[in-house]
Amino acid sequence: MAASFVSKFSRVGRSLLGGLSNNISSVAASSTSPELTSSSNALYQMLENLSYRLFGYVLPCDSCLFLMEEPSSWLSILHQQHRTFIQMRTVLKVADNSGAKKVMCIQALKGRKGARLGDTIVASVKEAMPNGKVKKGKVVYGVVVRAAMQKGRCDGSEVKFDDNAVVLVDKQGQPIGTRVFGPVPHELRRKKHVKILTLAEHIA
């Protein structure tokens, strides 16, 4: 199934992105000012929006153009994104002081088969401290803040953590605890989890 998806994306994506690349190049070449025209800026915006819908974050324009010149790079990023899934029954550590120690993923929100960094999951508490806010067996929401599988970034670097971890949140997405332990990725800012970043010890 994954191979079929990659093959389909390869055909459709190359056609769509290649057309955008040609339009951007032609507009940029015809521009007489140091800055691109409004039409070129609009095309770049379309390209950034497309990369966000595909990968969950915005690729810089230079990276988007490079990926269009090297189509195999799209497949590499897609493969890495597929491998970062937190799936049903995955056991994750809790990286806050809410009282829970370990949770098991029940499902990812929005009908997804798995969760990536910054996504919210529904989980069941498997281990908890006796006097904590969250008790064992409670069903909670959690934001994935660390994943053991490596994840490619748009600048060519990769991020990989030693464990799978979540920060417990309420229905409004606000952290239950008051401290977040260990490093968290800066990709959380793109997913609107700024409060978690402010509570974190280190941002990777």
pLDDT tens for the chain, 204 residues long, are: 444 444 444 444 444 445 544 544 454 444 444 444 555 566 666 666 666 555 555 555 555 555 555 555 555 555 544 454 788 999 999 999 999 999 999 999 887 888 888 899 999 999 999 988 999 999 999 999 998 887 777 777 777 788 999 999 999 999 999 999 999 998 898 888 999 999 998 887
Neighbours of 153 (CB within 10 A): 17
Answer whether 0.75 is exceeded by the pTM. no
